[in-house]
Structure 1
Amino acid sequence: MLFPISDDDRHLDGPAWATIVLLVANVLVFAYQLSEPAFTYGWSVVPEEITTGQDLVNSRPIPEEDPNVQITSAQDIPQRPGPGPAPLVYLTVLSAMFMHGGFGHIAGNLLYRWIFGDNVEHRFGTARFVLFYLTSGIVATIAQILLDPDGLVPNLGASGAIAGVLGAYLVLFPRNRVNAVFIFRVVTVPAVVVLGLWIVLQFVNQWGALAVTEETGGVAYGAHIGGFLTGMALALVLRATGTKEQRSRLTRSMASDPRNRTWW
């Protein structure tokens, strides 16, 4: 498996402010989660809360027919008060996008956002990038809920929105060079290879989660797939509508360097 560590950013003009602000927001919210554990259970997305419009406030027993639930020592699923019943409960779709389940979870998400987010933000523009990011995350959450509408396990993380960024990057910069770790070596390959393998792995894992009854580790592969496809679709719309990209070092580089030019 290729694990990306950086991409070719030499030609970007200035910092990607939305990417930086979103990164900082995720860190601050995670710090608050560490100090207030109840916040995590109250403000993450619980599929049953979204489908019923009701805020669950008491711990619920683990359904015997659900083998994929990450059980607690008390053999139940913690629930805490959140924003309230409908329509306030739907705010968790947004709040969960800034929350994470552990240090490894947030570290991986921030790395992927840092690598791929700036290029996509420069292409979309800051304001449209924020709208694009939130839309990808919302659609990703809906996709995950559709797979288990009665689920009680809290869903949280920026993975779905970041998957949208990866999908847009694949459409907009398929030949941009990405540095990745492969079997203890750093290799440089086109983005289409890294991101193509990533999304194929998500489909394989989601199929495995549906086909077997083993513990899947709590990874929301459905959200990854939904976010990625949304990102691709929005990037294709951007290209099809003929939206002009602001002239910058990035656009000049894409035009002059055949290794960075798009394939479609």
Structure 2
Amino acid sequence: MVIPVHDVNPSRRTPWVTYALIAANFVVFLLTPGVSGSVAGGSSLAQLCHLEAFTQHYALVPRELIHGRMPSLVPTGAVGVGMHGPGCVLGPPAYDKSPVLSVLTAMFLHGSWLHLLGNMLFLLIFGNNIEARMGHVRYLLFYVVCGYAAAYGFALTNSSSTTPLIGASGAVAGVLGAYLVLYPRARVWILVPFLLFLPLRLPAWIVLGFWFVLQAFYSTGEAVAEAGTVAYLAHVVGFVAGMLLAWPLKPGTPPPPEPGGILFGRQTRRAW
């Protein structure tokens, strides 16, 4: 696993949409039921039941999206006592849910601080240049379309799944795919866990290409035990969608500036 920290590719304009998306994701996360408990170090059963009901209402559920069938019983947010002790109460849905709209709302939901911060870090580093190249409005539409493509791609191959799907990963993956197409030679500073953290500056095509191959490998479900809990296939579909949508913009895209000879954080000399 590598951690990007900066790209050597200055943006020509202020990425207001990227900033707004990041701010919206943080606001929604902080307002999500149960987050206050997790920040303090633990959540009560009542908070967990409320969070479960909230997630079921606003998250994407593949079976709902593909077949349009709402479950007969959903978490109500209340706590009850059953045969096995206290637990979350199930009941008929007290709301009308639009599966198509849930794709959009799910893009702003995250399950943990690590989930949120990882997505927002990638969006902050790579989103500004894509927004500058596309313009604010087209970039926002691009972001949403990539998120929808990722969601439908995952749902179509998991149409019987009732597990809620949340996160901005699919849309952010689209941004990464567009960056690979438009700025493959831009240098990206990354931290590689080796003893502590080893700083390296590599071309974007290596950093993002490695990320994509890793996601594709994980999507098979054979690489890691938790592959079933992360929608890696959504990342793959979002990335490919971003590449395809950005491809027409490749001609005429100005190349990133060529940085000086810096390697491992030190200035080096060039041979003539």
Please tell me the TM-score bracket, short chain as reference. Answer: 0.7 to 0.9
Deviation at 1:213, TM superposition (A): 10
Output the TM-score relative to the length of structure 1.
0.79
Aligned to 1:93: 103
- Sequence identity, in percent? 38
| Deviation readout 1:161-194 (Å, 9 max, x if unpaired) | 0000000000000010100012221100000010
1:201-240 to 2 correspondences below 5 Å: 201-207=214-220, 209=221, 214-216=225-227, 218-239=229-250
Aligned to 2:39: none
Aligned to 1:84: 96
| Deviation readout 1:78-128 (Å, 9 max, x if unpaired) | 89848625xx23210111011111111001000000010001110111110
CA contact (8 A) 1:109 1:162 kept: yes
SS at match of 1:26: helix
Change (3 A) 1:192 1:215: closer
| Deviation readout 1:221-247 (Å, 9 max, x if unpaired) | 1100000000000011233xx6x66xx
CA contact (8 A) 2:170 2:239 kept: yes
Change (3 A) 1:147 1:255: closer
Q: What is the alpha-carbon distance in structure 1 between the residues aligned to residue 24 and residue 17 of structure 2?
A: 10
CA contact (8 A) 2:212 2:236 kept: yes
Deviates more, 1:163-172 or 1:22-31: 22-31
Q: What is the alpha-carbon distance in structure 2 between the residues aligned to residue 160 and residue 77 of structure 1?
A: 31
| Deviation readout 1:31-74 (Å, 9 max, x if unpaired) | 121356232221100111112213336249xxxxxxxxxxxx99
1:125-164 to 2 correspondences below 5 Å: 125-164=135-174
Largest Rg, 1 or 2: 2
CA contact (8 A) 1:59 1:78 kept: yes
Aligned to 1:8: 8
CA contact (8 A) 1:55 1:84 kept: no
**Structure 1 runs (4+) greater than 4 angstroms displaced:** 73-83, 211-215
Aligned to 2:112: 102
Q: What is the alpha-carbon distance in structure 2 between the residues aligned to residue 77 and residue 140 of structure 1?
A: 32
More strand by share: 2
Amino acid at match of 1:84: D
CA contact (8 A) 1:77 1:153 kept: no
Unaligned runs of 5+ in 1: 61-72, 246-250, 260-264
**Cα RMSD between the aligned structures?**
2.9
Aligned to 1:33: 32
Q: What is the alpha-carbon distance in structure 2 between the residues aligned to residue 258 and residue 193 of structure 1?
A: 17
SS at match of 2:26: helix
Does 1 or 2 have the higher relative contact order (CA < 8 Å, sep 6+)?
1
2:64 to 35, 49, 52: 49
SS at match of 1:34: coil
Deviation at 1:29, TM superposition (A): 1.2
Unaligned runs of 5+ in 2: 35-49, 76-84, 261-272
